[in-house]
Amino acid sequence: MSLISPADQQKLRDAFSEMTRPVRLLFFTQALGCETCPQTRQILDELPPLSDKISIEEVNFVLDADKATQYAVDRVPAIAVEYEEEGERRDTRIRFLGAPAGYEFVSLVRAVLLAGGGESMLSPEARTRLALVDKPVTMQVFTTPT
């Protein structure tokens, strides 16, 4: 049974239909000691049925530690958003730590749409300013489900 109402599913289907490239959600998980991993998986599983451009790739945090390091993931559950362009995998550098429930689900959907070729919410001026960034910057946004 879906967590999303049929009306909302249709809204999401419509939004996702605008996507122009495939998006892969890498789900970093482990079998033991991750209380919210099943919930995260359940939330993620809602998405592929709504678009043939969305896929989930599960990565075992313990067995595939190299991949976790590659994506700068050091705890689970974690989701990395990437897309495919000209046959190559490209990282959006967007990460979700913790189950994307509540309002974070909206953020996840927005990230998927952005990765899928959607419009940025940033102004052109903002993007011009951002082009000046030349050193690594991490931005951790803390939220709660409500």
Q: Least Å distance between CB 10 and other proteins?
A: 25
Q: Say if CB 78 and CB 96 are below 8 A apart.
A: yes
Nearer to other proteins, 12 or 99 (CB): 99
Q: Which structure tokens are listed for 20?
A: 């122009």
Q: Least Å distance between CB 27 and other proteins?
A: 14
Q: Least Å distance between CB 81 and other proteins?
A: 9
Cα torsion angle, 89, 3, 104, 129, sign: positive
Alpha-carbon span 40 to 35, nearest angstrom: 10
**Cα angle 50, 63, 24; round to 5:** 20
Nearer to other proteins, 4 or 101 (CB): 101
Residues binding other proteins (CB under 8 A):
36, 72, 75, 92-101, 104, 107, 114-115, 120-123, 126-127, 129-145
